[in-house]
Amino acid sequence: MRAKRATVSRDQLEASICRDSFYEFVQRFWDTVIPETPVWNWHIRVLCDELQATAERVFAGLPSPYELVINISPGTTKSTVCSVMFPAWTWTRMATCRSICGSYAYPLAMDLSRKCRDIIQSDKYRRLFGDVGLRDDQNTKGYFANTRGGSRVAVSTGGSVTGMHGHFIIVDDPLDPNQAVSEAEMKAANRWLAETLPTRKVDKVVAQTILIMQRLHQEDPSGVMLRMAKEGKASVRHICLPAEVDRADRSRVRPRRLYRKYTDGLMDPVRLPKQMLEAMRARMGEYGYAGQFLQSPVPLGGGMFKVALVRTVPTVTKIVRSVRYWDKAGTADGGAYTVGARLDLEKSGRIVVSDVRRGQWDASQREIIILDTAKSDGIDVIIGVEQEPGSGGKESAENTAKNLRGFRVRIDRPVGNKVLRADPYAVQVNSGNVALLEGPWNNDYISELQYFPHSTYKDQVDASSGAFALLTKPNIRVGGLAVTKGR
């Protein structure tokens, strides 16, 4: 007696294909939420495969080896893939899956949530995955759940997620790329990602954080997570796909093997052709373009300071004049740094940054270190002390000067903002006339110059521009102390 052959319907076959491949799911459900004809550039497959790889571990209950950080340009379907399609697909494999999805503004988070719900309520989804239906008593745009225990909740950056837990924490653009990012907003977003969201994981070992954004600042959430990974404090899988690269900077593509997929240096020559990118650069300026399209929140080669032109030297020779300039702070183990930068002017006219003392000291520690440094430098080195505005700044500068009796002290009353004051020094750096004496402080110094004026800290630049001004500006005598004219 012949066995009956099992028959598989077309719908069953399509459902099986979609379950097995998130990329296939995206292709087959594209038209349920996006009316435009898709452009299937290679990066979409990369995003889908990365998301599926991390999802498979969650489905299997395996420990997560890393958090996923994706940096990619606007207009590349990142939100459709990560925030709209992905939560809908997870239910086809794990109906109990819960996702918390955040964006910088609640209306945006709601819109992405609505599109995800549109997929799940579509005739096609219900036909292929009919065992997953939405609950009538929890079916809103921002928070919907299925009859099997799965859910998707939308939240804005910093919003309350009390009582919510997720297998996937998906953060899509935690900062508004269309507005200047304030330090307060950045700190709030970083604190939310670091302190609030990790407590909302269903299982702290298995659940996955996925951060998708275009770079905006050195200390944006991506920057913080990548720095923590570099310091060994976190494990991060970094997907970085700049809109354009050349052979010299192809190392910015992560994983690096993906550079081979670029066409004439372009990630997506159809969506992001060269002409369009040049127009965006002209409209946004170097800083905005470098962050959002190059995924490097500073123009290549440096911003205000072209750090590629700064080299290190083993010695300083034939010193004509030396200045150690102090930019003071007064908080121990936090806040801004106190920095004393020493600049030496050589007979050749070259300027060498020969030493940087930098720390977060309280006022008492600071004054001891300033005096000890003066003794180490010797009386030939002029000491500049910045006087902050107001009576408190005047008193602080005068107290430091008194502490340095016997040394050549100059109280400096700077005029104008930090960028304006740094400009003369930047001219020297950008003409290749500034070198660094080899030292352990070199990397931090170069990093601050590279990102200035968008660097997290600006104290080393302030101290260096103050020292440069004293090297080149005339002085006048006031009450036994030399006071520089306003910069």
**CATH of residue 396:** 3.30.420.240
| Number of domains the chain is built from | 2
SS3 content of the chain, % helix, strand, coil (to 5): 40, 20, 35
- pLDDT at position 202: 96
Pair (237, 311) in one structural domain = no
Pair (318, 234) in one structural domain = no
431-454 pLDDT, tens per residue? 999 999 999 999 999 989 988 877
Examine the pLDDT at 244 and tell me if it is beyond 70.
yes
pLDDT band at 476 (very low <50, low <70, confident <90, very high): very low
pLDDT band at 176 (very low <50, low <70, confident <90, very high): very high
For residues 265 and 246, the model is more confident at 265
- pLDDT at position 485: 47
pLDDT band at 4 (very low <50, low <70, confident <90, very high): low
Q: Which of 133-147, 292-306, 449-463, 472-486 has the lowest mean pLDDT?
A: 472-486
Q: How many CB atoms lie within 10 A of CB 302?
A: 20
DSSP one-letter code for 272: S
Domain ends where: 222, 241, 260?
Answer: 241
Mean pLDDT along residues 234-244: 97
Examine the pLDDT at 475 and tell me if it is beyond 70.
no
Render 376-427 in DSSP notation, one character per residue. HH-TTSEEEEE--SHHHHHHHHHHHHHHTTTS-EEEE---S-HHHHHHHHHH
Pair (21, 168) in one structural domain = yes
Examine the pLDDT at 394 and tell me if it is beyond 90.
no
- pLDDT at position 96: 97
Rounded Cα distance between 33 and 116, Å, is: 8
Residue 443 lies in a domain: yes
- pLDDT at position 320: 94
Domain ends where: 206, 241, 276?
Answer: 241
Residue 250 lies in a domain: no
Q: Which of 23-32, 211-220, 260-269, 285-294 has the lowest mean pLDDT?
A: 285-294
- pLDDT at position 440: 96
Structure pTM?
0.71
- Rounded (10°) CA dihedral 429, 435, 441, 442: 70
Rounded Cα distance between 230 and 357, Å, is: 24
Pair (319, 236) in one structural domain = no
For residues 480 and 156, the model is more confident at 156
Pair (25, 140) in one structural domain = yes
Examine the pLDDT at 260 and tell me if it is beyond 60.
yes
- pLDDT at position 1: 47
Pair (107, 212) in one structural domain = yes
- Which amino acid is residue 42, in one-letter code? W
261-275 pLDDT, tens per residue? 999 999 999 999 999
Examine the pLDDT at 103 and tell me if it is beyond 80.
yes
**CATH of residue 115:** 3.40.50.300
Mean pLDDT along residues 309-337: 88
Pair (37, 125) in one structural domain = yes
Residue 56 lies in a domain: yes
For residue 117, give its domain range: 10-241
- pLDDT at position 300: 61
Residue 91 lies in a domain: yes
Residue 342 lies in a domain: yes
Pair (233, 149) in one structural domain = yes
Examine the pLDDT at 106 and tell me if it is beyond 90.
yes
- pLDDT at position 297: 83
- pLDDT at position 479: 40
Pair (311, 183) in one structural domain = no
- pLDDT at position 416: 80
Q: Residue 10: which residues within 8 A CB-CB, separation 6 or more?
A: none
Pair (107, 181) in one structural domain = yes
The dihedral sign for the CA sequence 459, 314, 367, 475: negative
Rounded Cα distance between 173 and 180, Å, is: 14
Residue 3 lies in a domain: no
Domain ends where: 190, 221, 241?
Answer: 241
Pair (332, 227) in one structural domain = no
- pLDDT at position 474: 62
Output the average pLDDT for the chain: 91
- pLDDT at position 6: 58
Examine the pLDDT at 34 and tell me if it is beyond 50.
yes
DSSP one-letter code for 354: E
Residue 417 lies in a domain: yes
Residue 272 lies in a domain: no
Q: Which of 7-11, 214-218, 340-344, 354-358 has the lowest mean pLDDT?
A: 7-11
91-105, 184-198, 243-257, 472-486: range with highest mean pLDDT: 91-105
Pair (236, 329) in one structural domain = no
